[in-house]
Amino acid sequence: MTSTTDSTRELLLSRIRDVADYPKPGVMFKDITPLLADPVAFTALTDALAELCVRHGATKVVGLEARGFILAAPVAVRAGLGFVPVRKAGKLPGATLAQSYELEYGSAEIEIHAEDLAADDRIMVIDDVLATGGTAEASLELIRRAGAQVAGVAVLMELGFLAGRARLEPGLRGVPLEALITV
């Protein structure tokens, strides 16, 4: 667990709205847009994630498409680090490295510009939610294939009932996985 205070966790959790039956019946969607709209909560989130980057010696921040971009870019600025997007296949111009991964219902592919990462970079991967862990797992592989090191993975919220941590554990290879909130 992180050094995030109980009051910060409570603030963040209070700004996450449950939306029943979205995107399909039986799913309880965790909507972070109220948190993003609250400058106090968004600042607290940004500060907590930036502190993790500093603590784990990150030199750059990778944000996972799409909500991970919203969180990772201000974290990178706050921590004084560079920001590198991991995008869905076909969204980045020029030469990219790609990684496919399995979903419950098929497969997907993400890409990164390899030239944005160097061998001496320590990358903190940031996303909004750790669900099944597939996207995060693929991003770790991409970062390592680009020649950089992984400093850790940090998420606003972990959906513990989906067992993403267990899936991601082998790919972490001992680096920390930090969730500010676990539901």
* Contact residues for 17 (Cβ-Cβ < 8 A; gap 6+): 30, 31, 33, 34
Tally the residues of the chain.
Answer: 183
| Reduced 3-state DSSP string for 107-171 | EEEEEECHHHCCCCCEEEEEEEEECCCHHHHHHHHHHHHCCCEEEEEEEEEECHHHCHHHHHHHH
Which residues are known catalytic residues? 67, 104
CB 53 within 8 A of CB 123: no
CB 117 within 8 A of CB 146: yes
Count of alpha carbons within 13 Å of 84, Cβ hemisphere only? 25
CB 177 within 8 A of CB 151: no
Burial zone of 124 (CB within 10 Å; 0-12 exposed, 13-18 middle, 19+ buried): buried
